[in-house]
Chains A and B, each alone.
Chain A
Amino acid sequence: MNWYKYASPTSFYPLAGKMIPWFAIPAAILFLLGLYQGLFVAPTDSQQGDAYRIIFIHVPAAWMGMLLYVLMAIYAAIGWAFNARLSSMMASAISITGAMFTFLSLVTGSLWGKPTWGTWWVWDARLTSTLILLFLYIGFISLQASIDDPRRADRAGAVLAIVGVINVPIIYFSVQWWNTLHQGATIRLMGKPTMAPPMLRAMLIMLTACWLYSIAVVLIRLRYIILEREQNAAWAAEAAGSPVGQPRWGT
């Protein structure tokens, strides 16, 4: 099987279409399962009462915000370094979903902070660096939107995305490096989680659901980006024979 074939947007387009239901349907099932586990099965927390149930969306949203940023930067970098258009399109497709999850983590965090800390917002390391993450996403999206030539937009976006990656470990370790109001990690990359099993199960189900959701949504958006850009390419091929200076979009 020739894998390079799928590096071309036009041949990846139908493949992406076939992949979407395989992620979208399990995502929907896992969301329902996770909500059931999180709202009905998981017991009330002894310290935070039922307010802790925000964790089941807040933590997955925060993780997705960070992971999608790294993924976006990797795709943008590959697209830039190897001149791979599909890879750059993938970075653009990821950016919106990443920004959505980052915004969601800030809002749900705020709704959690009010009853547990007594404040909607504090300028501490974790919260501030997450806000910067949101600004990086917004910067990436608006930078790309402001440049007409898609390949130039890809390159400019790639530079911003790559430089911004430094912010992700800062967010992750901020609760260890600085004194902060934000509680420590409940799931650690190494070592045991500090959560009761039914709570942990609900969170992991929701995290998996968010992953599958992200893949499905990003693939759908990627297909639109491919269509839109390839339309332009077809137009460009058509227009190549026509006189210079003709308006781009006709009448």
Chain B
Amino acid sequence: MDWSEFFSMGGYAFYVWGSYLVTLILMGGEVVVLLRRRKLLRHQKRSGLETRGKQ
């Protein structure tokens, strides 16, 4: 298989790979944001417990 031909997408490389890149960024980004939210929530929970402990 000819890889340079594959990557050139018959001259539509920008549009095709651009689409796939945007998809990767958006869907991957959604997952990353969700996983970071887990960390944030855990942090909040911990600090919440701490303040409750002080009261």
| A and B together in one complex | yes
What residues of chain A have their CB less than 8 Å away from a CB belonging to chain B?
A: 39, 44, 49-51, 53-54, 57-58, 61, 96-97, 100, 103-104, 107-108, 111-112, 114-115, 213, 217, 220-221, 224, 227-228, 231, 250-251
Q: Is the CB of A108 within 8 A of B11?
A: no
- The B interface, classified by DSSP as helix, strand, loop or mixed, is helix
Name which residue of chain A comes closest to B5, CB basis.
Answer: A50
Distance of A96 from chain B, by nearest CB (Å): 7
- The A interface, classified by DSSP as helix, strand, loop or mixed, is helix
When distances are taken between beta carbons in the complex, the residues of chain A under 8 Å from B37 are 224
What residues of chain B have their CB less than 8 Å away from a CB belonging to chain A?
A: 6, 9-12, 15-16, 18-20, 22-23, 26-27, 30-31, 34, 37-38, 41, 45, 48, 51
When distances are taken between beta carbons in the complex, the residues of chain A under 8 Å from B30 are 96-97, 100, 217
B10, B26, B38: the one contacting A44 at CB < 8 Å is: B10
A61, A111, A228: most-surrounded residue (chain B CB, <10 A): A111
* Contact status of A112 and B19, CB under 8 A, knowing A96-B30, A100-B30: yes
When distances are taken between beta carbons in the complex, the residues of chain A under 8 Å from B34 are 217, 220-221, 224
* Contact status of A104 and B23, CB under 8 A, knowing A217-B31, A217-B34: yes
A108, A221, A227: the one contacting B22 at CB < 8 Å is: A108
Name which residue of chain B comes closest to A103, CB basis.
Answer: B26
CA distance A231 to B44 in the complex (A): 10
Q: Is the CB of B27 within 8 A of A49?
A: no
B12, B48, B51: the one contacting A115 at CB < 8 Å is: B12
Distance of B10 from chain A, by nearest CB (Å): 4
CA distance A53 to B19 in the complex (A): 9
When distances are taken between beta carbons in the complex, the residues of chain B under 8 Å from A39 are 6
Q: Is the CB of A251 within 8 A of B11?
A: no
When distances are taken between beta carbons in the complex, the residues of chain A under 8 Å from B41 are 224, 227-228
When distances are taken between beta carbons in the complex, the residues of chain A under 8 Å from B18 are 111
Q: Is the CB of B15 within 8 A of A112?
A: yes
Name which residue of chain A comes closest to B24, CB basis.
Answer: A57
Q: Is the CB of B11 within 8 A of A49?
A: yes
